[in-house]
């Protein structure tokens, strides 16, 4: 089933010359910027199951990019790695109900996992580290909602407030689904038009859809993954009104379910560090093309 904040672990975005210059720089960077640490000295991401470094990818250029190679300078991107790895130790805390604008739901969940125990929390942090490296090399300021640096959470309402307070130009929440065997592919979740209680998505529905379309197109192109065959009617896009992380956002935000961890074929991809690098590259391209207009 599509991502649910109540999911059980076993179920599952000028001048013409300036734009042209930035676009050329972006293309060059995205073709090869896959280093293992950001320009701010961020430590190398953790190794994947195969032992390959989390920053390993298809590109080879290294070192800090030149000024002309930083098209996202001045942009802030919040990356929201779905589910803290410590959530399972704090079930009482994450089961606490929080306001999601239109009603109340659990603070968070543990997330899902593959049948052999590779967790969604581990996957989302790995892809998020890779994504941060790519975006920072293009000059973006990247902030995480969590980096396995707290016992549990943050809750879904706090995750939304994090992006709002950061004044983010884009927020992407990284997830993997926990659906039935045979359900394959990725989908991007967009905020519905919600206006009630403390939720009002009126100003972000349009830009969030634009962000989501860019992300979906780039993700397909780079990873080779098809849009979900069980959500979104083959568009790779799904609209939800029941997610606090979207309902409470005041900045453009989307979720992405990178694949279905409960399907063996999708799980094989999700566990592969080379594929995860492609996933991060696809996300980086989608976010960058959205931000550059």
Instruction: Report the C-alpha gap between 239 and 204 in whole angstroms.
Output: 13
> Which of 177, 279, 155, 271 has its CA nearest to residue 230?
177
Active-site residue, 257 included: yes
In contact, 47 and 126? CB cutoff 8 Å: no
In degrees, to the nearest 5, what angle opens at C-alpha 5 toward C-alphas 141 and 167? 25
DSSP 129-162: HHHHHHHHHTT-EEEES-SS-SSS---HHHHHHH
Residue 123 in tokens: 């996957």
Residues 6+ apart with CB under 8 A from 52: 273, 274
Query: Which one from 5, 122, 136, 257 is the annotated catalytic residue?
Result: 257
Backbone φ and ψ of 217, nearest 5°: -65, -45
DSSP H or E stretch at residue 282: helix 273-291
In contact, 81 and 146? CB cutoff 8 Å: yes
With H, G, I as helix, E, B as strand and everything else as coil, classify residue 16.
helix
With H, G, I as helix, E, B as strand and everything else as coil, classify residue 254.
strand
Residue 145 in tokens: 């909602």
Instruction: Report the C-alpha gap between 274 and 272 in whole angstroms.
Output: 6
Strand partners, 143: 78
Q: What is the DSSP letter of 65?
A: P
Active-site residue numbers? 257
């Amino acid at each position: 089933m599509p991502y649910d904040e109540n999911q059980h672990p076993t179920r599952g975005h000028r001048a013409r010359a300036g734009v042209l210059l930035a676009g050329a720089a972006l293309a060059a960077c995205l073709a090869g910027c896959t280093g293992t640490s950001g320009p701010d000295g961020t430590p190398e991401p953790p190794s994947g199951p195969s032992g390959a470094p989390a920053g390993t990818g298809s590109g080879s250029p290294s070192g800090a990019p030149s000024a002309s190679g930083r098209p996202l300078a001045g942009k802030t991107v919040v990356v929201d790695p779905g589910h803290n790895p410590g959530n399972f130790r704090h079930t009482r805390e994450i089961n606490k109900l929080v306001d999601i604008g239109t009603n109340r739901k659990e603070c968070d969940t543990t997330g899902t996992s593959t049948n052999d125990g590779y967790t969604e929390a581990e996957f989302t942090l790995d892809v998020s580290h890779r994504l941060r490296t790519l975006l920072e090399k293009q000059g973006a300021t990247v902030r995480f909602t969590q980096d396995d640096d707290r016992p549990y959470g943050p809750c879904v309402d706090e995750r939304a407030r994090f992006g709002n307070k950061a004044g983010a130009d884009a927020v992407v929440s990284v997830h993997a689904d926990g659906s039935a065997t045979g359900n394959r592919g990725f989908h991007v979740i967009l905020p519905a038009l919600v206006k009630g209680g403390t939720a009002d998505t009126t100003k972000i529905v349009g830009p969030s859809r634009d962000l989501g379309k860019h992300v979906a197109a780039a993700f397909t192109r780079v990873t080779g993954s098809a849009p979900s065959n069980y959500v979104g009617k083959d568009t790779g896009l799904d609209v939800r009104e029941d997610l606090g992380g979207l309902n409470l956002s005041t900045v453009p935000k989307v979720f992405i379910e990178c694949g279905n961890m409960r399907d063996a074929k999708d799980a094989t991809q999700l566990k592969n560090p080379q594929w995860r690098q492609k996933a991060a590259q696809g996300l980086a391209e989608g976010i960058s093309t959205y931000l550059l207009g």
